[in-house]
Structure 1
Amino acid sequence: MIRVLIVDDQQLVRAGLRMLCESTSDMTVVGQADNGRDAVRLAEQFVPDVVLMDLRMPGMDGITATKRILDIRPVTRILVLTTFDDDDHVYPALTAGACGFLAKDVAPADLITAVRRAATGESPFSPAVLRRLVDRAVTTTTQPAPPEPDLTAREREVLTLVGAGMSNAQIGENLHVGITTVKTHVANLMVKTRCDNRVRLAVLAVRLGLVPP
C-alpha cells in the first residue's frame, strides 16, 4: 500500500486529490496539510511514501518543506504539483530534492500513474513541465556543449528518449525491452554522465544534439 501525504493550500484541491488516490486499491492518504510547516510535521508523524507537494503556500513554502522533509527522511518521494506560472519555483524544488513534477492540469489517470512511479523510485514529469525545464536550462547556460560520453548504442537510444520526455515504460515499449532493463540503462547513464536526475539527462540529450532544442 502506497502511503500518500497531500499538501496544498486549497481545500478543494486537497479533497479532489484525496478522492482520486483513495479510489485506487493500492493507495491510502495518511494526512493532509495546507502549509509547509504542517507538511513537515505530518511527514515525520505518518511516514508517507509519496508526498504530493504544492509549491506556493502561506508561511513555509513547498520548496522549504521539501528540503526539511528529506532532511528528516531521505527516502520519502516528493512529487511537486505545479502551475505554468511556477517556473521560478520549479528549479529550486528540484535542487531541494523533489523527484518529479506534474502540471496541475494533469489527467487523473496520469497522476495516479505518476504516484505509483514515484513510489517505485522513478522520476515522473509531465511532458510540458519537463520541456520547460529543459528549454530554460539550455537557453540560460553559457557553457560550451559537453563532450559526448562513452555510451553504448543502446544507452544512446535511451538517452535520446529520456530527452524526448518519455517515461521508463514508454521507453521500454519503444525499444521492446522490459522496464527493469530501462531502469538499468538510466542508472548507468546517470553514472557515466554524472547527471543525478532525469532533468539533467534530458538537458544533456538536447545539448548533445540527440533531440531538437
Structure 2
Amino acid sequence: MNVQKILVVDDHPLVLRGIRQVLESAEDFRVVGESTSGSEALELMGKVRPDIIVLDLRLPDLLGPDVCREMLARTPSLKVVILTAFDDPKILWACVEAGAAGILLKGSLELDLVRALRDVSAGCMVMDKTVSQVLHNANLLVKNDHGNVYGGLRSREYDVLRLLAQGMSTREIGTALGLRTNTVRSYTQSLMEKLQAHNRVQLVVVANRLHLI
C-alpha cells in the first residue's frame, strides 16, 4: 500500500487534532507534521517532505493562497488542499489561481476529507459543491479574452473536459475513452492552454463559467 504523507496546517489546535484523528483512521495516510502558521509550514515541509498538505485558508501570518503558491514553487509535485469556513468568491478564486488541488469547506470535513485526499492522491481535483456554486454565481471576470474558445475545442477535448469535471483521474479518463495516458495528458494540456487555465481545478471552474460543461 502506498501511504501518503500529510502535513496539516491550521492555527486552531482543536482542528489540528480533529484532522489528525480523521486521517489516522485511514491506513493509506500518515500525518507527518502539524503547523499553526504559514511560515512555519514552509520551513517544516522541507523537513518532513509531505505528499499532500492540508492548509487552512486563513492563518495568523499569511493567507492560504500565498502559502499554497510558495509551496508549489518549491515542490511542484506537491498537492495542496485548502480548507475554509469562508465563501468569499475572490479569495476562493485566488486559491484556484494559486494551484490548489482542492478546496473543501470545514463543515463537511468528517466524511469528505479522507475521500477527497484519496481523489487528490490519484490525480483528481476536488472542490466542495458549495465552493463551486459560489464561484459560478460570482461570475468572476476572466482576465483573458476567451472569445474564440467555443469553436476551438475538438470533440475529444470536450470528452476529456467533461470527465475531468466529474473528478476522474488521467488514467480513469484514458480507460473510459480508450485513450493512452499520454494522450489524455496532451488533451488536458491543450485544454488548459485554450482556456488559459493554470491547473485542472481552474480549468473546470473556467469551463463551468463559460458553460462549456
Q: TM-score, normalised by structure 1?
A: 0.79
SS of 1:30's equivalent? Answer: strand
Q: Which stretches of structure 1, 4 residues or more, deviate above 6 A after TM superposition? A: 178-183
Structure 1 pair 187–114 and aligned structure 2 pair: CA distance change class (3 A): farther
Confirm or deny that 1:104 pairs with 2:102.
no
Q: What is the one-letter code of the residue matched to 2:111?
A: A
SS of 2:83's equivalent? Answer: strand
Q: Tell me the number of residue pairs that the alignment of Structure 1 and Structure 2 aligns.
A: 204
CA-to-aligned-CA distance 1:133-166 (integer Å, 9 cap, x gap): 2333x453485643322312x542443455xx52
SS of 1:52's equivalent? Answer: strand
The equivalent of 2:85 in structure 1 is: 83
- In the alignment, structure 2 segments of 5+ residues that lack a partner are none
CA-to-aligned-CA distance 1:22-65 (integer Å, 9 cap, x gap): 00111110011111111111111100000000011112332222
Quote the Cα distance in structure 2 between the aligned partners of 1:18 and 1:180.
38
Q: Is the 8 A contact 1:158 1:182 kept in 2?
A: no
Quote the Cα distance in structure 1 between the aligned partners of 2:66 and 2:17.
23
The equivalent of 1:70 in structure 2 is: 72
Task: State the Cα RMSD in Å.
Answer: 3.1
CA-to-aligned-CA distance 1:159-194 (integer Å, 9 cap, x gap): 3455xx52217xx69xx9389979964751441451
- In the alignment, structure 1 segments of 5+ residues that lack a partner are none
Q: Is the 8 A contact 1:66 1:98 kept in 2?
A: yes
How many angstroms does 1:208 deviate by?
5.0
The equivalent of 2:153 in structure 1 is: 150
Confirm or deny that 1:168 pairs with 2:168.
yes
Q: Is the 8 A contact 1:53 1:80 kept in 2?
A: yes
Identity %: 29
Match of 1:37 among 36, 39, 61: 39
Q: Is the 8 A contact 1:160 1:205 kept in 2?
A: no
